[in-house]
Amino acid sequence: MSRYSNTDQEDIHEHDRGLAHDLPILLSRRGALSVLGGFGLVTLNGCAASPLAGTASTPPASPRSTPSASESSTGAATGELIPEETAGPFPSNGSNGRNVLNQSGVVRSDITASFGTASGVVTGVPLTVTLTVLDSRNGSSAYPGAAVYLWHATPDGRYSMYSDGVKEENYLRGVQECDAAGQVTFTTIYPGAYDGRWPHIHFEVYPGVEDAVNASSRLRTSQLAFPETESALVYATNGYANSSANLAGSSLESDMVFSDGYSLQLATMSGTVTNGMLATLNVPV
């Protein structure tokens, strides 16, 4: 159940949604619940430390469950698509103000540093994110040539290009093309948890790099969730103090994006805080 009142949710929804989300909201699984009654309107938290985001737009093929981290990343076997989620208020894809996708240098694997005219570098616990994009229209086989735009918050919950202090930076954002196995790999840092949200990463999937840099023909927008155990270990390190407190006050079950089920979005983790961590996830589209 959401921790916000219906009035709060409506205010959040109006603040975050853009034209790209207005029409999908009418068909969203959460919107459908609101129309059918019984649960009220459930809005989604986006990706800023204070603003919250709009709703998801496309329902999964079947109800979502909430297994452990070891059972995650298996959506292709069930025939379910990765759930459609909000891009949040700060996607920097041109749908809400600034656009990083049309900037030279955005196609890259290491997203810890800014590029172009910006020069900032963000530090934190090293994290490698590997997503395997699967083509649901082709027997859930690998989707070579697809492209992923990925972005997330700093350890203190800020988003480059939008948040105070980092508006001139564009780190923690990048595009990658899937290899023959349908995989993309990003080198980054473990994202922070800010008030109202569980630790997560945003991503969009496109048919190809040209589509991604033009923000056209988008196949899916979704979010990756992190397990509690690994998050708690990371947040006990320097630079994540606020994240530790925010993690203690939230849960996957109460998060405004993952509360309806997260089985297809919960990353499988390996590695250590000292040597760096690896998050993997299958992304059926």
Tell me: the pLDDT tens digits for 244-256? Answer: 999 999 999 999 9
Is the pLDDT at 31 greater than 80? The verdict is no
> What pLDDT does residue 76 have?
54
Is the pLDDT at 30 greater than 80? The verdict is no
**String of b and e for 78-111 (b: at least 16 CB within 10 Å)?**
bebbbbbbbbbbbbbbebbeebbbebeebbeeeb
Is the pLDDT at 233 greater than 80? The verdict is yes
Average the pLDDT over 119-145 and give the result. Answer: 97
Give the containing element (helix H, strand E) for 24.
Answer: helix 19-26
d(CA 178, CA 200): 21
**String of b and e for 216-250 (b: at least 16 CB within 10 Å)?**
eebbbbbbbbbbeebbebbbebebbebbbebbeeb
Percent of the chain with pLDDT strictly greater than 90: 72
Is the pLDDT at 160 greater than 60? The verdict is yes
Tokens 């570098």 locate to 121
Average the pLDDT over 93-109 and give the result. Answer: 96
d(CA 54, CA 32): 14
More confident site: 257 or 49? 257
What's the CA angle centered on 106, arms 105 and 108, to 5 degrees?
85
Could you say which DSSP state residue 110 is in?
A: B
Q: pLDDT category, 79, cuts 50, 70, 90? A: confident
Is the pLDDT at 37 greater than 80? The verdict is no
> What pLDDT does residue 41 have?
26
Tens-place pLDDT, residues 139-154 = 999 999 999 999 999 9
State both tokens at 107: 């196609």
pTM, entire model: 0.76
- CB 146, CB 205: distance < 8 Å: yes
> What pLDDT does residue 78 have?
61
Beta bridge partners of 270: 278
Phi, psi of 223 (to 5 degrees): -140, 145
Q: What sign for the dihedral angle of Cα 140, 143, 147, 149?
A: positive
Mean pLDDT of the chain: 80
E strand map for the chain? 126-135, 141-142, 147-151, 173-177, 183-189, 200-206, 220-225, 268-272, 276-284
Is the pLDDT at 119 greater than 80? The verdict is yes
> What pLDDT does residue 66 have?
35
Average the pLDDT over 226-237 and give the result. Answer: 98
